[in-house]
Amino acid sequence: MITRKPSRRILKILCHVTIVFLIIVATVVTTLSLTIFKRREPRVQLENFHLTYLPNETITVKVVVKVKNPNYESFKYKNTTASITYQGIIVALVPIEPRFVPARGKLNFTITSVDLLVYKMVESPKFFEDIVSYGSFNFTSSATLHGKVRILKFLKFDAKVLCTCDISYLILSQNVTSRCMTKVKL
C-alpha cells in the first residue's frame, strides 16, 4: 500500500486556519478580560451605629456592615481581626468571622459587642480638643481579609482584600458617617 503525503497546499491552508482561529480566541479572551471580567473594587458600607456607654470605661458599639461585590468572581475569606484606631492609638479589636461573598451579590452582617476603650482615647493629646472644638471623634477601622477568589466555579486564586474605613462620630447629634476604601490583591 502506498500512503500519500498531504500536499503542501493543504498544509498551508490548515496552518492559516489555525493561526486565524488562535487570533480570534486571543481577541475574545482579551476583550472579555478587559470588559466583563475586569476586577472592580467591592463597596463596603458601615451603617446603623449604636453606641452604649458602660460604667467600666468602655463604649459598646453595634454596627451593620454591608458589602456589595460587583465582580463576576465570588470571594470566601477566613477569620480575621479588624482594628479601630483613634488618633493612631488602637482602641478596639474586632473579630470578623469567615463568610462567603457571592459573585455580583450582596452580604450584610452585624458586628455586635465591639468595646472601645475610652481610657486609651483619653490618652490622646487631641481628645479634649476633638470634643470642644469639633464635637466629633474620628476613628479609622482597618482589616485585611485573606481568602480565595473563585472564577467561573472552577478557577481558584488566593486573594487579599484590604479595607480601610474612616468613621466620624458626631457627639451631640449622635450621627455616624463612614467612608470605606477597599483594595483587592491577587
Query: Residues 113-167: pLDDT tens digits?
Result: 788 888 888 888 888 888 888 888 899 999 999 999 988 777 888 999 999 999 9
Q: Which residue has the cell 468602655?
A: 58
Residue 34 has pLDDT above 70, yes or no: yes
Backbone angles phi, psi at 25, to 5 degrees: -60, -45
State the pLDDT at residue 162.
93
DSSP string over 66-109: EEE--SSEEEEE--EEEEEEETTEEEEEEEE--EEE-TT-EEEE
pLDDT one-digit tens code per residue, 162-185: 999 999 988 888 888 889 999 988
Domain boundaries 43-185, CATH class: mainly beta
Residues 52, 54, 59, 63: is their CA dihedral positive or negative? Answer: negative
Residues 102, 107, 112, 118: is their CA dihedral positive or negative? Answer: positive
The pTM of this model reads 0.77
Distance CA 37, CA 155 (A): 13
Residues 101, 102, 105, 107: is their CA dihedral positive or negative? Answer: negative
Name the helix (H) or strand (E) containing 50: strand 43-54
By percentage, how much of the chain surpasses pLDDT 90? Answer: 39
